[in-house]
Amino acid sequence: MRTALTIAGSDSSGGAGIQADLKTFQALGVFGMSAVTAVTVQNTQKVYDIQEMKPNIVTGQISCLFEDIHVHAVKIGMVASTKLIEAIAGALKKVGRLPPVILDPVMISKSGYALLAPDARKALVRHLFPLALVVTPNLPEAEDLLGKKITDLNGMKEAAREISALGAKMVVVKGGHLEDGKATDVMFDGKDFKLLENKRIATQNTHGTGCTFSSAIAANMALGKPFIDAVVCAKRYVTGAIEHSFSLGQGCGPTQHFFDLYKKAGLNINIKRDDSI
């Protein structure tokens, strides 16, 4: 059985964070494990508060898994502070042969809540980028990392090249926020670019898409797929999950991680918005 470890925060609404990561791993046939970095207080409408885990607890979660289980891929999501970043980097550096690490630089929630302290952004680049095989920023995150606006595909390509120069071996700049009517991602393997184009899906139910995409890349790499193939398969998966997303609560609903499994099982799952609140 192939395995993947997510190092990320917990989403109490179940649509993002470690909940989304574990669902994605399971949907793609990979056994998922988790090291919780923080507990968030959130629903479909917004993030209200965050409680970080102690750095030694995060380190312990990571170390005990590698001591016992063969980990085939690692996904890193929300890490809110410099102390946590240093703890994660320290634990991973002690691993003899590190599996592929996919880093999703989660910085700001959809509702605008800061999920990464401003003083921790340099630490993220300094400590975790060199350990990452793939970094997957969306446009706002890429802009924040580089300190400049990105308005078109050429800008995305240049951003991918510059982020690679910061230490990431391979980069996927996600174009879902680009106002061009498409959802085009830019892949950069350190030498060449490849574009992944897809139609934009008209839905507000996109909670957790970034987490799902990066964990899908991790799952596919855990299964042995190379970079390009892993990203292409992840893009196909997250597109299907968005197409089958559903309204839950009063805000942005989640994607449907098990859409393909439900289809194969002959189950017609149709969840409508709960307006009883």
Q: Is 212 a catalytic residue?
A: no
Instruction: Answer whether residue 275 is part of any domain.
Output: no
Catalytic hit among 23, 110, 174, 235? 174
Q: Is 6 a catalytic residue?
A: no
Residue 52: which of 65, 36, 64 has the closest Cα?
36
**Mean pLDDT taken over the chain:** 92
Residue percentage of the chain with pLDDT more than 90: 80
Catalytic hit among 9, 77, 184, 211? 211
81: which 2 tokens? 């502070």
Residue 78: which of 165, 10, 136 has the closest Cα?
10
Catalytic hit among 44, 206, 239, 255? 206
> How much is the average pLDDT of 74-82?
95
pLDDT of 10: 97
Residue 256: pLDDT over 80: yes
Residue 274: pLDDT over 60: no
Strand, coil or helix: what is 99?
Answer: coil
Catalytic hit among 9, 208, 251, 253? 208
Instruction: Answer whether residue 256 is part of any domain.
Output: yes
Q: How confident is the model at residue 181 (pLDDT cuts 50, 70, 90)?
A: low
pLDDT of 271: 54
Instruction: Answer whether residue 269 is part of any domain.
Output: no
pLDDT of 177: 63
- Domain count within the chain: 1
Q: Is 82 a catalytic residue?
A: no
Instruction: Answer whether residue 103 is part of any domain.
Output: yes
CB atoms within 10 A of CB 275: 7
Catalytic hit among 209, 212, 239, 255? 209
Catalytic hit among 15, 77, 210, 253? 210
Residue 36: which of 69, 61, 73 has the closest Cα?
61
Q: Which residues contact 75 (CB under 8 A, 6 or more apart)?
A: 4, 5, 6, 7, 8, 21, 101, 102, 103, 104, 214, 215, 217, 218
> How much is the average pLDDT of 6-27?
97
Q: Is 206 a catalytic residue?
A: yes
Instruction: Answer whether residue 186 is part of any domain.
Output: yes
Q: What is the CATH number of the domain that holds 80?
A: 3.40.1190.20
Beta strands at 185-188 and 170-173: parallel, antiparallel or unpaired: antiparallel
Domain range for residue 216? 3-262
Q: Is 167 a catalytic residue?
A: no
Instruction: Answer whether residue 270 is part of any domain.
Output: no
Asked whether 226 and 234 are in contact (CB, 8 A), the reply is no
Instruction: Answer whether residue 169 is part of any domain.
Output: yes
Q: Is 83 a catalytic residue?
A: no
Residue 124: which of 73, 166, 160, 169 has the closest Cα?
166
121-178 tens-digit pLDDT: 899 999 999 999 999 999 999 999 999 999 899 999 999 999 999 999 999 999 876 7
Residue 183: pLDDT over 60: yes
Instruction: Answer whether residue 276 is part of any domain.
Output: no
